[in-house]
């Protein structure tokens, strides 16, 4: 989990040369130009909210991945890698790859053929309006809250690295995202996310390449980390036999079941922020290939996100400290490791590229949350609950205004983060409250025809409330963590994993019990919504090497090999 950005720095690390400043200005001009150019292609609801459903597999796949490469990824997980070592990689491999392949091969056909605009939209079709209302209101609240956190993180980096005024950074990023999303809708967001994907990689690769050269290669890097920290920091699985054998304070059960089977499955298959990008694909094959393409690149992301934290452990002279200590002492915190490494390796020109990569990542995460919020508000809250008789043009205008309003709320959230440094903990908790039980509701709805509307609604509600209850229990009595995570040696991340696991199980149990006691829909009513009652469309008679299942198999094999190599 990423940690809050709390430390207030009074000095900055680097100065932008004219060439660096030119690169940053050119980036802002380019993303705005894309928004203006695509304005004429976002006049209908299908165009504005779903990009006309004409994205290729590669465009949808890279946008799918880029929407998840925001501030929490670039800054937070670099800091977590410094704090926990290579164990942070689990959030990119077992915490992503199996779920992305499951989305592609199992869940994507249902999302795509139902032509729903959102995951709450599917819940409405499957379980009715109450389930849709609970999920859409919760999700809309959290997306705009997460957008504000991304905005604050970007402003904080600009303040730490360059000495820019934090208010200027917040409003500059907010205004840019509001303009290009309000003009071009999801299509503009997707094309900018593809651009941002390449910028992020071009800039962020500088640190691992130059850092590994300084450290003397991967083998010598492991030796340096073992000498300066602990040998536990360079093993992916071998230290997970117990809670006390690794710096994360978690065991393999929490990683495999809490993270791999619940949180990641819930995030990658039901979080509309990422699913929306896939729904914009031009056909079923493209919709299935997009998450597979994303999974292939996802396995490489630790190189630019985790590696800077590991390099920091090995080569930085100063010892980085937790945020709570940094706020008092003025020392650099874990979350400063990426800016510190950027300042260490990048001179004029390269620095501009690296800073642009960071800005691109932050704006990508912010735009992803804003477009998801806009669609869910318009289609799942405003249209069904407030005005169901508006014209298509009316809903497009509502989407544009909602984009601006969502960005303004995000700005407010960014300032809220400035006042309450620990809010990142609450954001992560809120996120887990929603994702784990939602996955239980959606997967039961798709795979079990006996699930009823009452079962889906009450299961989702009870699962969410149970997760909130466990979180509150531990907040009131920290010793309760030993009961939630089943060990007295468990730490915060273990709580998140086990809390998600229990809330998922509660959601499933309540859904099953209530469904068995209530009347289900007829088979005819469930056609197109449940496996076994729906003709699953085929990608057609194409060569084996073009079939999604073939490429999913290749990605799966590489995934297993990587986990064995870094065991």
SS3 of 173-192: the string is HHHHHHHHHHHHHHHHHHHH
* DSSP code per residue over 513-554: HHHHHSPPPPTTTTTTTSTTSS-PPP--S--GGGSHHHHHHH
218, burial (CB in 10 Å: exposed 0-12, middle 13-18, buried 19+):
exposed
Radius of gyration of the chain (CA): 23
- The per-residue pLDDT for 304 is 83
Domain ranges in the chain? 18-422+538-565
315, burial (CB in 10 Å: exposed 0-12, middle 13-18, buried 19+):
middle
Q: From CA 98, how far away is CA 262, in angstroms rounded?
A: 11
Q: What angle do CA 368, 374, 377 make, to 5 degrees?
A: 135
Reading the block at residue 310, the tokens are 């590991």
- The per-residue pLDDT for 13 is 60
Domain 18-422+538-565 matching CATH 1.20.1730.10: the answer reads yes
Going by the DSSP 8-state scheme, the letter that residue 231 receives in this structure is G
Whether 302 and 207 have beta carbons less than 8 Å apart is answered as no
Q: Phi and psi at residue 333, in whole multiples of 5°? A: -95, 175
**Tens-digit pLDDT profile for residues 426-440:** 555 666 677 888 888
Nearest in space to 83 (alpha carbons), one of 1, 14, 10? 1
- Residue 165 to residues 155, 303, 329, 404, Cα–Cα distance (Å): 8, 31, 22, 23
- The per-residue pLDDT for 510 is 95
Query: What is the reported pTM?
Result: 0.75
Q: From CA 454, how far away is CA 395, in angstroms rounded?
A: 30
459 CB-near residues (< 8 Å, 6+ apart): 437, 440, 441, 444, 507, 508, 509, 510, 511, 512, 514
Whether 74 and 341 have beta carbons less than 8 Å apart is answered as no
Other CB atoms within a 10 A radius of the CB of residue 318 amount to 10
Whether 228 and 313 have beta carbons less than 8 Å apart is answered as yes
Whether 69 and 361 have beta carbons less than 8 Å apart is answered as yes
Half-sphere exposure of 7 (CA within 13 A, CB side): 25
Residue ranges of the chain with pLDDT lower than 50? 1-10, 42, 44-52, 420-424
Whether 95 and 281 have beta carbons less than 8 Å apart is answered as no
CA dihedral of residues 48, 361, 273, 430 (deg, nearest 10): -140
- Residue 526 to residues 39, 443, 455, 529, Cα–Cα distance (Å): 38, 14, 15, 5
- The per-residue pLDDT for 9 is 40
Reading the block at residue 249, the tokens are 């304070």
Going by the DSSP 8-state scheme, the letter that residue 236 receives in this structure is S
- Quote the crossing angle between the two packed helices 119-127 and 129-162, to the nearest 10°: 170
Reading the block at residue 401, the tokens are 């205004």
Q: From CA 468, how far away is CA 141, in angstroms rounded?
A: 16
């Amino acid at each position: 989990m990423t940690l809050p950005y709390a430390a207030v720095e009074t000095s900055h690390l680097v100065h932008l040369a004219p060439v660096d400043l030119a690169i940053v200005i050119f980036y802002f001009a380019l993303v705005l130009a894309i928004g203006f150019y695509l304005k004429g292609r976002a006049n209908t609801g299908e165009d504005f909210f779903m990009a006309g459903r004409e994205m290729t597999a590669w465009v949808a796949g890279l946008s799918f991945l880029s929407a998840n490469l925001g501030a929490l990824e670039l800054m937070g997980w670099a800091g977590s890698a410094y704090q926990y070592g290579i164990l942070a990689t689990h959030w990119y491999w077992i915490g992503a790859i199996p779920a992305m392949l499951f989305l592609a091969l199992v869940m994507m056909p249902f999302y795509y053929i139902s032509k729903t605009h959102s995951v709450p939209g599917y819940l409405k079709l499957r379980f009715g309006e109450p389930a849709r209302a609970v999920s859409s209101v919760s999700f809309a609240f959290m997306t705009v809250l997460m957008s504000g956190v991304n905005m604050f993180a970007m402003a904080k980096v600009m303040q730490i690295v360059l000495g820019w005024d934090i208010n200027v950074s917040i409003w500059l990023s907010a205004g840019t995202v509001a303009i290009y999303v309000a003009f071009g809708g999801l299509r503009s967001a997707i094309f900018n996310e593809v651009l941002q994907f390449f910028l992020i990689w071009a800039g962020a690769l500088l640190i691992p390449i130059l850092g590994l050269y300084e450290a003397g290669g991967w083998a010598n890097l492991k030796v340096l980390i073992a000498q300066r920290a602990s040998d536990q920091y360079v093993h992916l699985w071998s230290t997970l036999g117990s809670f006390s054998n690794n710096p994360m304070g978690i065991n393999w059960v929490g990683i495999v079941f809490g993270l791999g089977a619940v949180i990641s499955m819930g995030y990658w298959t039901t979080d509309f922020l990422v699913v929306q990008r896939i729904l914009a694909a031009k056909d079923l094959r493209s919709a299935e290939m997009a998450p597979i393409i994303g999974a292939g690149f996802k396995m490489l992301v630790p190189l630019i996100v985790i590696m800077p934290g590991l390099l920091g452990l090995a080569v930085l002279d100063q010892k980085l400290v937790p945020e709570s200590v940094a706020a008092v002492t003025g020392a650099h915190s874990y979350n400063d490791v990426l800016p510190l490494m950027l300042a260490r390796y990048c001179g004029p020109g390269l620095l501009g590229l690296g800073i642009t990569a960071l800005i691109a990542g932050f704006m990508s995460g912010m735009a992803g949350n804003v477009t998801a919020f806009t669609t869910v508000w318009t289609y799942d809250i405003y249209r069904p609950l407030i005005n169901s008789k508006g014209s298509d043009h009316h809903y497009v205008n509502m989407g544009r205004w909602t984009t601006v309003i969502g960005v303004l709320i995000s700005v407010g959230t960014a300032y809220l983060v400035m006042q309450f440094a620990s809010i990142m903990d609450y954001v992560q908790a809120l996120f887990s409250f929603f994702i784990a039980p939602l996955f239980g509701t959606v997967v039961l709805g798709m795979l079990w025809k006996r699930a009823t509307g009452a079962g889906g609604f009450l299961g989702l509600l009870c699962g969410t409330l149970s997760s909130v209850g466990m979180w509150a229990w531990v907040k009131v009595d920290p010793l309760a963590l030993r009961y939630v995570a089943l060990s007295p040696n468990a730490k915060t991340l273990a709580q998140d994993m086990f809390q998600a696991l229990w809330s998922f199980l509660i959601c499933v149990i309540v859904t099953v019990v209530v469904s068995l006691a209530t009347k289900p829909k007829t088979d005819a009513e469930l056609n197109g919504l449940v496996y076994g009652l729906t003709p699953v469309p085929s990608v057609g008679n194409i060569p084996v090497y073009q079939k999604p299942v073939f490429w999913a198999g290749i990605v799966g094999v590489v995934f297993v090999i990587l986990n064995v190599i870094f065991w």
